[in-house]
Chains A and B, each alone.
Chain A
Amino acid sequence: MISVRDFYFNYGRVKGFAGVSTTLTPGHIYGVLGKNGTGKSTLLYNIAGLLFPSSGRISVNGHDPSKRQPAFLQDIFMVPEEFYLPNIPVKAFLKYYSVFYPMFDRDTFHQYMDLFEVPVNSLLQGMSYGQKKKVYISFGVAANTSVLLMDEPTNGLDIISKGQFRKVIASAAADNKILMISSHQIKDLENLIDEVVIINDTSIVLKESLNQVARKLSFKISFDESELTDALYAESVLRGNTLVTRNTEEEESKVDLELFYKATMSDPAKMKMVLK
């Protein structure tokens, strides 16, 4: 479990997070959404123990991340946006790094490498950024840590690879794991996450399960202008509007994550009230 209590973080004199409290429980894939520079990476870095809170407390499975104890580090894996892989063969990387993760599963690693179509016998130095990222993601998921943090994991992946990525993540989800994926490319997270965390300015403006969103909201395209008055959020499209409305007919519609994000950002307080 990840517990964030009264979390403050400042970038020098500039305020980052101010008094954030939330709890993330195992068995979920959390999508962390927010504009560029709102602190998605900062939140993940604080959870990983790469940055320390200015005040407040973060606890990951009972560990204080800032202490970076080996027991904590071997149970958390982070795929950062900017990652480093040494210039060694993939097999050597596997040999020298996997030993630090007690739950590492070599078969799973090979399985993911096959899925990503990256040959295990290749050298890391000869790989493209996208290929390296696939190795890193495969390694991170195969490490079987109870917390897996991914910062913009789909950056640098082509369309086919993004599909492969979704398969990998879907197979990695388990009842005892917390997966946190931050992205500003919201479409990449659709049908992948089951909880959404929206960050804006200095706080988490909304944290909600997508089941609840589907129960409470309706996403549709409407050609009837009169429906605009009841809409929580509307966006004009060719000959009509995409709408976010209250789900009054108890019919669950597919959550349009991008539309939901925009609707939340337009009026976070109202959205919170509707989802209650």
Chain B
Amino acid sequence: MHPVRTIRYLRKYSFENAKSNILLFLSLAAFLVLWLGVYLNFTNPFLFREGAQAAYYFVTLFLSGCLSSGLLFSDFGSKSRAINFLLLPASALEKFLVSLFFGVAVFFIGCSSIFWMVDLVVVNIANYKYDTQWEVINLFRLDTYPNVFFDGPLTDIFFMFFPIQALFILCSVFFNKHGLFKAIVAMGLLWVILIAVFLVVQHLLPVGILHDGDTYEVIEADGDNKLIALPVWLTVIASLSYKFLLTPMLWTVAFFKLKEKEL
């Protein structure tokens, strides 16, 4: 990797994609204004409570993040654009890292900033209209708000978002055409497989209840229930791998696919 060339590529990329990135963020803002604007017309003031705002944030992040990531390498859908991309004198790593920087980091910052700005305006209007005292959520302290999706800290949703986004990026590299739609289909298939595996495992296990993902309580007819606990080290490794290794692993696969990409 050559730092000067990477910076040159970064400048070229940002200049060429400035319009589309601005349009992406403007459409994101318009989407939020439309969505939350409709909610402002309802009579339910609880639609703007802090927990709900956090939910809107994550829904926005998932929808727009997956959509934009699925189009990150859409150049491969056109032969002429693919030639332009592949023959530009920069390494595959430089091209991939720059795309990742804009598609993941810049997108995340931009999306969060736009959400915060729209949320700030909408929540203040809601407080004025409903005479409520809801606070505008602080995106740096998301764990202080209730999680409406599942038991656990809100920030755990990021550990779902980034792997899913990485999967969309991988699909946009992998498939020359309709990468976004194929990624959605792939996600659907993955989800079906996971449910099937879960059901099979549940069927094989004796009747019982799962506690915290690492302890299984077998319910006995005589009331003498038994606990089966997985070793702590195993659950820690599994959890850390899922949280911190899955996304880089998917990025790595996408990079190697990009490296060997043909017309």
Contact = CB atoms under 8 A, between A and B. Distances in A.
A74 B259 CA distance: 17
Interface centre among B87, B91, B94, B260 (most CB of A within 10 A): B87
Contacts of B82: 50
Given A50-B86, A97-B12, A82 B80 contact: yes
Interface stretch (A65-73, A212-220, A224-232): A65-73
A70 B89 contact: yes
A73 B87 CA distance: 6
B83 A70 contact: no
Given A51-B262, A92-B15, A100 B83 contact: no
B211 interface: no
Contacts of B11: 96
A82 B79 contact: yes
Interface in B61-114: 78-84, 86-92, 94
B87 A96 contact: no
B12 A74 contact: no
A96 B2 contact: no
A27 B85 CA distance: 29
A101 B16 CA distance: 18
Contacts of A97: 12, 88
Nearest to B8: A99
Interface in A83-125: 83-84, 86, 88, 92, 96-97, 99-101
B232 interface: no
A84 B80 CA distance: 5
A48 to B, nearest CB: 6
Contacts of B2: 70
A96 B88 CA distance: 11
Nearest to A102: B89
Nearest to B88: A100
B205 interface: no
A50 B16 contact: no
B86 A100 contact: no
A51 B263 contact: yes
Contacts of B226: none
A204 interface: no
A100 B89 contact: yes
A86 B90 CA distance: 18
A99 B84 CA distance: 15
B76 to A, nearest CB: 12
B178 interface: no
Contact of B87 (A50, A51, A69, A82): A50
Interface string A52-74: 10000000000000001110011
Contact of B89 (A73, A86, A92): A73
B5 interface: yes
A45 B91 contact: no
A31 interface: no
A60 to B, nearest CB: 13
Contacts of A70: 2, 5, 89-91, 94
Nearest to A41: B263
Nearest to B85: A84
Contacts of A73: 87-90
A88 B16 contact: yes
B262 A101 contact: no
Contacts of B84: 83-84
B91 A69 contact: yes
A49 interface: yes
Interface in A15-38: none
Contacts of B5: 70, 100
Nearest to A96: B12
Given A70-B91, A100-B5, A49 B16 contact: no
B100 to A, nearest CB: 18
Contact of A88 (B15, B91, B92, B263): B15
A78 B87 CA distance: 8
Nearest to A73: B89
Nearest to B83: A80
B258 to A, nearest CB: 10
Interface string B150-190: 00000000000000000000000000000000000000000
A47 to B, nearest CB: 12
B94 to A, nearest CB: 8
10 contacts: A50-B82, A68-B259, A70-B90, A73-B88, A84-B83, A84-B84, A97-B12, A99-B8, A100-B8, A100-B88
User: Which 9 pairs across A and B sit closest by C-beta, in order of nearness?
Assistant: A73-B89, A74-B89, A84-B80, A96-B12, A100-B89, A82-B80, A84-B84, A50-B263, A84-B81
